[in-house]
Structure 1
Amino acid sequence: MKRMKRFLRPLAIVLGITGAAVMLGFVERTTDRTPLTTLDIRVHGGEGVHFIDEMAVRRAVMDHGIAVLGAAAGDVHIAHIEERLRNIPCVADAEVYHDLDGTLHVIVKQREPVVRVLNGDGSSFYIDEDGWVMPVDPDYTARVLVATGWIREPGAVNGVYSVYADDSLAQATCSDEIHRIASFIRKDELWNALIDQLVVNADGEFELIPRVGAQRILIGDGSALEQRFAKLRLFYSEGMPKADWRRYARIDLRFADQIVCTKRNSPNNP
């Protein structure tokens, strides 16, 4: 009897696995033959990000080479649709799948820009939160930090690319540092509300222009941002309340453990 039990137990396991495999195969074949009758589109992105809407996604899906709705699920090339959607510059990622009810689900994640760069040659482009350069949209303008000044970057003329793509460079590029500074500002509630513009001056250093106060805040390069902005926060909380906000034309954060302020109409700032 014990020998019989030892024999029946592995046999039951094998039969169970075989049955499950047969059932999965049946479900897969049934799903592949199911006609697609409904298109469920969801577009995700940060608050206020509207580069692409459901109608644009629908057009991209329908421009697939076959009539998607009405076709058997197995005849629709999911990977091709996902690739088509991911090739849209403002799309960070896309997922497409169908279910037993005949619904084709399309989930699109938009890129979220952190800065708009106004290039020296007159062109313009965004850099998203992950460091990807993307073109501007003629129908929609994202409300983000603007970078101007002595900027000579390739922009988005050759499509979407990462500002961190070339790790062989000994020094960070201008786009690298613009993205680093803009990302730091965006993550802080105070700086995101206060800083309006990022300027690259003729020396290749970065200056901030706040929405109030009319100062230029010189931060130098994109390093030691936490320390430099900590000094600025302390200055705003303890120094500025005791003085007129328009008293200083320039606030220099480049030096360790000190802030150098230049008064308006001083010899150094006529």
Structure 2
Amino acid sequence: MKINWNYIKTGLVIGVVFFLFAFAKNRNNTRVLSEINLEFTNSENLYLTEEAVNKLLIQNEVRVKSIGKETLDLNRVETLLESHPMVENAEVFLSIDGKMGAAITQRKPLGRVMAGAPFYIDRQGDKMPLSEFHSARVPLLTGVGEAHLREVYPLMDFIAKDDFLTRHITQLRRREDGKYELYLRKLDFIVVFGEVKDIELKFKNFKAFYQKALKDKKLDAYEKVDLQFGDQVVCTKK
């Protein structure tokens, strides 16, 4: 009987291809993760370091450099990273060459609350601890405690999103009657903001007053500027 060598060769080639595919897949699955690539979104690695991230993983027995890809629980790593008090969000992924990557978004402070134990209020309106690595240049809040964070948050959020207000406002004080006073950089008059309502209207009126007083060179003539009266800005001279 004549042997058809073409069929045999084709079968061998197919067999070799399947063997190589299975070998590559097994090798990829058992490859040891060799390193961690950390990326801080917007390059804001101010309040957290790579060393702190590695320490957090090691403390929780996530030894990325000594375990295989198939044994790494990415959801667990994300949960661990997001449990860090400086992390707002974390996305963890694996590359095809055996490296773990993590894109970390750090929490962003809007103001520093000068309580018995100082802390920040972040852009979500939540309490955020101070960092040992960086001190944020944000307005100071006095007379404010944890119970007032939801109340003051809309005001802080509005200020943080406005370049003019961010440049000029250095401190907010909550009075015992629940009304707020604002203190400005290089100006010694007090801005009485009042209750946290009509925020946009009050600041629109204040900006108009500021530009007019600046043009007239009268910014130093006042000791108090009150924004509580609708469309009016009531000023008290020195």
**Which category of TM-score, normalised to the shorter sequence, fits these structures?**
0.7 to 0.9
C-alpha distance in structure 2 between counterparts of 1:131 and 1:56, whole Å: 25
Structure 1 length normalisation: TM-score?
A: 0.74
Unpaired runs of 5+ in structure 1? 1-24, 155-173, 265-270
Task: Return closer, same or farther for 1:28/1:200 CA change in 2, 3 Å cut-off.
Answer: farther
More helix by share: 2
Counterpart in 1 of 2:47? Answer: 51
Counterpart in 2 of 1:73? Answer: 69
Counterpart in 2 of 1:205? Answer: 179
Deviation readout 1:64-88 (Å, 9 max, x if unpaired): 4253213211112222221111111
The answer (yes or no) to whether the contact 1:206–1:219 under 8 Å persists in 2 is yes
**Structure 2 residue aligned with 1:129, among 100, 107, 123?**
123
Counterpart in 1 of 2:212? Answer: 238
Counterpart in 2 of 1:37? Answer: 34
Shift of 1:236: 0.9
Deviation readout 1:88-140 (Å, 9 max, x if unpaired): 11100111121220111122110011111112xx1211111122211112442
C-alpha distance in structure 2 between counterparts of 1:66 and 1:239, whole Å: 60
C-alpha distance in structure 2 between counterparts of 1:66 and 1:153, whole Å: 34
**Structure 1 residue aligned with 2:95, among 96, 99, 120?**
99
Shift of 1:179: 1.5
* Higher CA-based Rg: 2
Aligned amino acid, residue 155 of structure 2 = I
Aligned-partner SS, 1:227: helix
Shift of 1:61: 2.6
Task: Return closer, same or farther for 1:66/1:117 CA change in 2, 3 Å cut-off.
Answer: closer
The answer (yes or no) to whether the contact 1:41–1:58 under 8 Å persists in 2 is no
Task: Return closer, same or farther for 1:36/1:213 CA change in 2, 3 Å cut-off.
Answer: same
CA RMSD of aligned residues (A): 2.2
1:182-201 matches, within 5 Å, as 182-201=156-175
**Structure 2 residue aligned with 1:255, among 191, 207, 229?**
229
Counterpart in 2 of 1:141? Answer: 135
C-alpha distance in structure 2 between counterparts of 1:67 and 1:36, whole Å: 9
The answer (yes or no) to whether the contact 2:193–2:228 under 8 Å persists in 1 is yes
C-alpha distance in structure 1 between counterparts of 2:209 and 2:153, whole Å: 25
Unpaired runs of 5+ in structure 2? 1-21
C-alpha distance in structure 1 between counterparts of 2:23 and 2:40, whole Å: 32
Counterpart in 2 of 1:153? Answer: 146
The answer (yes or no) to whether the contact 2:210–2:219 under 8 Å persists in 1 is no
Aligned-partner SS, 1:254: strand
Task: Return closer, same or farther for 1:40/1:251 CA change in 2, 3 Å cut-off.
Answer: same
**Structure 2 residue aligned with 1:90, among 78, 86, 91?**
86
Aligned amino acid, residue 202 of structure 1 = E
Aligned amino acid, residue 166 of structure 2 = N
Q: Percent identity?
A: 29
